Amino acid sequence: MDKLLDIRQISKVFGGVQAVRDVKFHVNTGEIVALIGPNGAGKSTVLNMVSGVFPPSGGEIRYRDISLTALKGYQYAGLGISRTFQNLQVFDDMTVLENVMVGFHSGTKSGLLACGTRLGRARIEEKGMRDQSHQLLEIVGIAEMAEQTAGSLPYGKLRLLEIARAMAVAPKLLLLDEPAAGLNHTETADLSRLFKQIQSGGTAILLVEHDMDMVMNVADRIVVLDQGEKIAEGTPDEIQQNPKVIAAYLGQEEAVV
């Protein structure tokens, strides 16, 4: 399998806090990798470095043959990396469909300004965007809510909306930060199926998640962080039996076993 994302010994220091230290792992094309660990282990910090929110203090992140470490956040457009956030980022007053269409703007040839003034190519692209946005809403299972304002959706559906929007750029790599947070058991199971479906379309997923049922169900491989360092990596079966992982989780409310 091809390495899509290669994280090479990255570190992050915030003031005096060493949030991440020499972490190394990779994600293959079309693979689902879960990044787990107790609270404060450094998972979100790794995701933020991969998605260009801030650079590593040390080490390198390679995506295909590009060094992400050298890029600014805005240079990520068009790379095929997309993400969702721990805290929902939807526009409450816009419709569900419009929220998904926002996700297309970085990928359109005419750009946001031309779309706004509805000139030639922009209009054509907008029709295309509407159709594709509808398809994405169908994939995540909320197409019947397309014309409702996003603010009227229940929490679980908003999570699906965020994923539909992240899919607008047809990502090769989807970064998900705690997508199951606040979801009930049925919603979590539905989301797990959706991730498998997204994977079958060729998209790789790097998933930060506390819900161990979801992680064990969907992940091909799991990377475990504790206090900023990688302590284990393996298949779900291997991780569930790893003594270091069990010890790291002792006293945490989310048990691995």
- Residues in the site for ligand ATP, rule: CB under 6 A? 14, 17, 19, 37, 39-45
- For the CB of residue 178, give the shortest distance to ligand ATP in the complex, in Å: 7
Q: Do residues 205 and 32 lie in contact, with contact meaning Cβ atoms separated by under 8 Å?
A: yes
Q: Which is nearer to ligand ATP, 68 or 136 (CB)?
A: 68
- For the CB of residue 47, give the shortest distance to ligand ATP in the complex, in Å: 8
Q: How many Cβ atoms are within 10 Å of 197's Cβ, its own excluded?
A: 12
- For the CB of residue 165, give the shortest distance to ligand ATP in the complex, in Å: 22
Q: Give the list of residues 6+ apart from residue 117 with CB closer than 8 angstroms, or none.
A: none
Q: Which is nearer to ligand ATP, 44 or 108 (CB)?
A: 44
Residue type for position 215: V
- For the CB of residue 70, give the shortest distance to ligand ATP in the complex, in Å: 22
Q: Which of 76, 57, 54 is nearest to 5 (CA)?
A: 76
- For the CB of residue 171, give the shortest distance to ligand ATP in the complex, in Å: 21
Q: Which is nearer to ligand ATP, 55 or 80 (CB)?
A: 55
List phi, psi (to 5°) of 94: -90, 160
- For the CB of residue 67, give the shortest distance to ligand ATP in the complex, in Å: 22
Helix residue ranges, H only, the chain: 43-50, 96-102, 111-117, 120-140, 155-166, 185-200, 212-218, 236-240, 243-249
Q: Which is nearer to ligand ATP, 228 or 236 (CB)?
A: 228
Residues linked to residue 83 through DSSP beta bridges, in sequence order: 175
Structure tokens, 141: 């299972």
Distance, in Å, from the CA atom of 170 to the CA atom of 54, rounded to the nearest integer, reads 23
Q: Which is nearer to ligand ATP, 57 or 110 (CB)?
A: 57
Structure tokens, 170: 């047809």
Q: Which is nearer to ligand ATP, 43 or 159 (CB)?
A: 43
